[in-house]
Chain A
Amino acid sequence: MASRRGRETAARWIFIAALLAALEGVVRLDWVDRIFVTAPSLVAATAWEKILSGELPALFVTTLFSVGAAFLLAMVVGLPAGYALWRFPLFGRAYDELLSALFASPWILLYPIFLVIFGRGLGAIIAMGFLSGMIPIALNTHHGLRDVNPIYLKVGTGMRLKERQIVRHILFPAAAPMILSGLKLGVTYILISVIAVEFLVEIGGIGTLASKGYFWFNTEELYLGMAGAIVLSMIFIHLLGRAESRLFTS
């Protein structure tokens, strides 16, 4: 009898395989215009060709670098910012709504300004990604810490723990699920932002590939760019998931 995990994996891949097979059939039967949709097999063939030529790995690494750098910066700023919003409740109350409003705004429209400030290069892409990711990280950290049961803190104080010990052994473990959700949200928004700016300004990694595919009617390249974004997202979410399970089992 298959394990639960095996059944989960099978359920996931059977659906995806069915979807891809249906798409392949629809395209092969010429039911859709190939300028809009292409067959997964053709995307795979293009991917293989570009892997062999070294083009796809280079684009992938560029996007990975931009997303990684933006994520690291977003964590370095977002986690302490979230902590500061909790530690100083006046600021927390003053800035929480404002940050939530900013989080809901279409940051992407500001890309020309970022190009002016940071130049037409990876700097602008990373800066846009950083801003998109930092806000959910800071907000979720704040909310996670704010919602920790006050009894836990009272117990810590009763045990005469120092503030640093309370933060390390009580606050952060209790707030960890919310903080990790913030990190997952952050990485998702960073990825969207990085690929969107790459597409718009044609600088950098797989967003550029999708852009070229769109403008030159290479539908396979367009879908390959989208597939690359999904793969990158899966890598980051998987890594965060592993970090989460390690954190909770230790």
Chain B
Amino acid sequence: MATRKRFRAIFGFVSVIALLFLPGIARAQLQTLRIAIPQKGLFDTTMPTWVADKKGFLKDAGIKAEIFWSSGGAETVRVVTSGSADIGLATGTESVITAFLKGSAVRIISAEMTGSPDLFWLVRGDSPYKTLRDLDGKSIGFSRPGSSTHMVLQLAAEQFKIKPKLVPVGAPPDSYTALMTKQIEAGWASPPTFLDKVEKGEVRIVFRGAELEGVRGVTTRVNFVNADFYEKNQQLVKAYLSAIKKTIDAMYDNPKETVAIFAEINQVAPALAEAGFKFFPKEALALSPVSRVDFSVDLALKLKMIDKAPTAAELKKLILAE
């Protein structure tokens, strides 16, 4: 009897201790994933991982996200290549191909953006230009050489048979400053930036990336991983992608909640966030397939980012996604 009592006491004590330490044990089981995200606040780059973290989908997948904000493109690639971050998000497909061919140990794990519905170009409210066609020979801003804005603008110039002067202006705030101070005639932006100015009539949209026929169905941006990290943590990477896929589904199943989070991140009115959200059809954010890679390769060749196209074996090594 005494033995049974003692056993119960010990069992009770151990249970209490276990309950006290259980959350800690659970936390200890989470694996840290360092993620480089370009351009904080942009819908496609920021929202999936942010919402996944907020809704606990990453935790459910055993992941503790450590987020690095980057200015995008080359910076994201270098951060991942050096091993400072494990995964890089939303980087131009042609940039990742170029980096890989020049010796960067990266692998594409999924698509991030298909087409270019998010980008748009603005003119001043008092500008005489109504469409992109009117901007033949005029100066139009894009972010950086080799970026998706550069790509879209060049393709748009081809589509509309115009020859604008392309000016690298940097991020949307720099683009807006350059536009309003008449350094350029049209500047780029991405939702929700400057949609309030559009509403007030201070600026007008003259061109949307969605109008571009050439990039429909093309994976314009990808998510990628450090090759060594992937070798050792394939399951973790796959778990992250599953969590993101689940998040994207949830985001489009609950648009009100998504708009509220989007507004909170960007500190804008919900109506503005909603207008921005409408730029992104769900299929544009699909993680697979990584499609029309030939398009990105041709673009990299055309821009002289690479001297020769990658072989089929090289592409197979680079692209781990479907």
Find the A residue at minimum CB distance from B145.
Answer: A215
Partner of B78, one of A35, A116, A218: A35
- Assess whether B146 is in contact with A215, with CB atoms less than 8 Å apart: yes
A33 contacts B103, CB within 8 Å?
A: yes
Once the chains bind, are A120 and B167 in contact (CB under 8 Å)?
A: yes
- Which residues of chain A are within 8 angstroms of B159 by Cβ–Cβ distance? none
Contact with A along B166-206 (1 / 0, CB 8 A): 01101000100110010110000000000000000000000
The answer to the question of B260 belonging to the interface, with a C-beta cut-off of 8 Å to chain A, is no
Complex alpha-carbon distance, A214 and B168, angstroms = 14
| A216-B167 contact given A35-B81, A120-B183, CB 8 Å threshold | no
B78 touches A216 (CB 8 A): no
- Interface residue B267 (Cβ < 8 Å from any Cβ of A): no
Residue interface mask A191-233, B partner, CB < 8 A = 1: 0000000001110000000001011111100000000000000
Q: Which residues of B contact A35 (CB under 8 A)?
A: 77-78, 81, 99, 102-104
Cα(A217)–Cα(B305), bound, Å: 8
Docked complex Cα distance between A67 and B221 (Å): 39
A212–B146 alpha-carbon span in the complex (Å): 9
CB of B99 within 8 A of CB of A217, answer yes
Count, chain A residues at interface, CB 8 A: 19
* Minimum CB–CB distance for B294 against chain A, Å: 20
Query: In whole angstroms, what is the CA distance A219 to B99 when docked?
Result: 10
Chain B residues near A33 (CB, 8 Å)? 81-82, 103-105
Interface: B74 (CB within 8 A): yes
Are B103 and A215 neighbours in the complex by a CB distance under 8 Å?
Answer: no
Are B74 and A36 in touch, CB under 8 angstroms? no
Instruction: Bin chain B's interface residue count.
Output: 20 to 34
Chain B 297-308 against A: per-residue CB contact (8 Å), 1 yes, 0 no? 000000101000
B153 to chain A, nearest CB (A): 15
Contacts of B104 in A (CB 8 A): 33, 35, 217
B98 at the binding interface (Cβ < 8 Å): yes
A35 CA to B178 CA, complexed, in Å: 32
Closest A residue to B104 by beta carbon equals: A35
> Which one of B82, B98, B183 lies within 8 Å of A216 (CB-CB)?
B98
A25-47 CB mask vs B (1 if < 8 Å, else 0) is 00000000111100000000000
Contacts of A212 in B (CB 8 A): 145
Q: How many Å from the CB of A43 to the closest CB on chain B?
A: 14
B276 at the A interface (CB under 8 A):
no
A112 at the interface (CB under 8 A from B): yes
Query: Separation in Å of the B39 CB from the closest CB of chain A?
Result: 15
In angstroms, Cα B74 to Cα A115, docked, is: 24
* Given A35-B102, A35-B103, A215 and B183 contact (CB-CB distance below 8 Å): no
A201 B103 Cβ-Cβ under 8 A: no
Q: Is the CB of A215 within 8 A of B102?
A: no
Q: Please report which residues of chain B, range 246-301, place their CB below 8 angstroms from some CB of chain A when the two chains form the complex.
A: none
Asked if B48 is at the interface (CB within 8 A of a chain A CB), the reply is no
How far is A214 from B103 in the complex, measured between Cα atoms in Å? 14
Check B177–A112 contact: CB distance below 8 A. Answer: yes
Specify the chain B residue showing the minimal Cβ separation from A215.
B74
Is there a chain A Cβ closer than 8 Å to B144's Cβ? yes
Given contacts A120-B183, A217-B305, 19 further A-B contacts (CB under 8 A): A33-B103, A33-B104, A33-B105, A35-B81, A35-B99, A35-B104, A36-B78, A36-B81, A36-B82, A115-B181, A120-B178, A202-B168, A215-B73, A216-B74, A216-B146, A217-B77, A217-B95, A218-B102, A219-B102
A-B contact pairs, 15 of them (CB 8 A): A33-B81, A35-B77, A35-B104, A36-B78, A36-B81, A115-B177, A115-B183, A116-B177, A119-B183, A201-B168, A202-B145, A216-B145, A217-B99, A217-B104, A217-B305
A-B residue pairs, 8 tightest by C-beta: A34-B103, A116-B181, A215-B74, A35-B104, A217-B102, A202-B168, A120-B183, A216-B305
Interface positions of B (Cβ within 8 A of A): 73-74, 77-78, 81-82, 95, 98-99, 102-105, 144-146, 167-168, 170, 174, 177-178, 181, 183-184, 303, 305
